[in-house]
Amino acid sequence: MIKKILVIGATGAQGSTVVRALVHDKKYEVVIFTRNLSSEHAQELLSLPGVSAFQGNTLNEKDIYAAFRQVDGVYCNLDGFAIGEINETYWGIRTFEIAIETGIKHYVWGSLDYLVKKGGYNSKYRCGHYDAKGRVADFILQNKTKTMKVSVLTSGPYMEMLFDGVFVPKLQEDGTLIYAHPIGKGHVPMVHLEDIGKYARWIFDHPQKSDGLDLEVATEHVGWKNLVDCVQRVTGKKAVFIDLSLQDFFAKSPMPKDAPAAWAQTPDAKVTTGQTYWENFSGWWSAWHDDIVTRDYEMLDNILPDRVRSLEEWMRKVKYDGAFRPVLKDLVDRRKAGIR
Ligand SMILES: NC(=O)c1ccc[n+]([C@@H]2O[C@H](COP(=O)([O-])OP(=O)(O)OC[C@H]3O[C@@H](n4cnc5c(N)ncnc54)[C@H](OP(=O)(O)O)[C@@H]3O)[C@@H](O)[C@H]2O)c1
């Protein structure tokens, strides 16, 4: 039975929910993998029972070997926004190979939908930070060995991006919340962060059922009419949806046209290979606009009967009011460093 699990990306929005779900009842011990042991995020996790840390970088084989030798399970969420699509594709595969070599018993890959593949290899849906993870997911499921259980947990945009990040509304002087996005009549398969942790826990608790599985999760496919209706019902505030073209959306974006898709790397990073931020997120919005991603909600109800099932339920649970709350560590770190 798996006892000690390394979580890569542990200090992040996703990884921290996984850590909490694994240790809350002391069933597992967790080693968090972080570049900086003394960050607030790392220290907060280290105050939980059963949590220890390994300081390292996911772009360094020696660190990966040393960390994997301390544990028997791994949850790996590489940060595509920091390392970029090309690095994520390579390191995703290499990390899996090292897991087999070091005798890991259960390897879980935190993934995202392989959008360009799901879109029939139409580059309209090319999205580096999704395609890298999806490509790796395909590779590791096809190359699994008898010695190591392998599961994929495919999530999607966090519902919490309504607090911080891409779905945040613009507040007008009269209090109206404006949701201006290039979504048309499409839907985003948003997922509540806490439930990602619970799905990861289910995977480690059920190795026979989860071995070889790509568990594709979401809370609800959210359309923007439903979004503004929910906001009005839950907050009592006026909410308006403005359907933008991709061009108009990016013209208003704080990210400059030449910003790299790996926007969380060094502040002055330039695109050398791979997509720009605008190109990457054009593919992303197009995938939601054209509804190319599905989920089996009946299966998710069976796996996690207490999952949050709708946007409205989530808004009531988290007391959503349209105001900003920090979510992504990368963004918190950039703001601290004075970078937009
Ligand atoms: N935003 C969304 O809606 C969403 C949804 C699903 C999946 N994702 C994916 O999740 C990933 C980001 O994770 P997150 O959402 O949890 O973001 P986050 O809150 O910004 O966390 C980023 C995490 O990545 C770690 N990290 C970055 N570079 C690293 C490196 N070189 N070596 C070791 N650790 C490194 C950070 O650890 P330290 O700083 O402690 O080293 C931190 O734990 C991205 O690939 C993104 O595509 C995002």
Per-residue pLDDT tens over the stretch 51-95: 999 999 999 999 999 999 999 999 999 999 999 999 999 999 999
Is the CB of residue 36 below 6 angstroms from any atom belonging to ligand 1? yes
Is 321 a member of any domain? no
What mean pLDDT do residues 297-307 have? 98
Is the CB of residue 161 below 6 angstroms from any atom belonging to ligand 1? yes
Is 324 a member of any domain? no
Is the CB of residue 157 below 6 angstroms from any atom belonging to ligand 1? yes
- What is the 83 CA–ligand 1 centroid distance (Å)? 10
Per residue in 264-297, pLDDT (tens digit) is 876 566 666 679 999 999 999 999 999 999 999 9
- What is the 66 CA–ligand 1 centroid distance (Å)? 21
Is the CB of residue 81 below 6 angstroms from any atom belonging to ligand 1? yes
Please, is 297 exposed, middle or buried when counting C-beta atoms within 10 Å of its C-beta (0-12, 13-18, 19+)? middle
Is 172 a member of any domain? no
pLDDT score, position 1: 85
Neighbours of 166 (CB within 10 A): 14
Which is higher by pLDDT, 1 or 36?
36
Is 20 a member of any domain? yes
With CA atoms as reference, report the closest residue to 95 among 76, 113, 82, 79: 76
Rounded Cα distance between 45 and 53, Å, is 9
Please report, rounded to a whole number, the percentage of residues in the chain having pLDDT higher than 90: 91
Average pLDDT over the chain, rounded to an integer: 96
pLDDT score, position 339: 79
Is 333 a member of any domain? no
pLDDT at 46 over 70: yes
- What is the 13 CA–ligand 1 centroid distance (Å)? 7
Is the CB of residue 166 below 6 angstroms from any atom belonging to ligand 1? no
Rounded Cα distance between 167 and 181, Å, is 8
Is 26 a member of any domain? yes
- What is the 77 CA–ligand 1 centroid distance (Å)? 7
What mean pLDDT do residues 319-323 have? 96
pLDDT score, position 93: 98
Q: What is the CATH number of the domain that holds 24?
A: 3.40.50.720
pLDDT score, position 271: 65
pLDDT at 4 over 90: yes
Rounded Cα distance between 160 and 174, Å, is 24
- What is the 143 CA–ligand 1 centroid distance (Å)? 25
pLDDT score, position 265: 74
What mean pLDDT do residues 176-187 have? 98
pLDDT score, position 268: 63
Residue 254: band (very low, low, confident or very high) from pLDDT cuts 50, 70, 90: confident
Rounded Cα distance between 113 and 288, Å, is 11
Q: How is the chain split among helix, strand and coil, in percent rounded to 5?
A: 45, 15, 40
DSSP for 162-228 reads GTSSTTPPEEPTTS-EEEEES-TT-EEEEB-HHHHHHHHHHHHH-HHHHTT-EEE--SEEEEHHHHH
What mean pLDDT do residues 196-213 have? 98
Is 204 a member of any domain? yes
pLDDT score, position 75: 99
What mean pLDDT do residues 115-122 have? 98
- Number of folded domains in the chain? 1
Placement of tokens 């996911």 in the chain: 58
Expressed as residue numbers, the domain containing 50 is 4-158+189-216
Is 268 a member of any domain? no
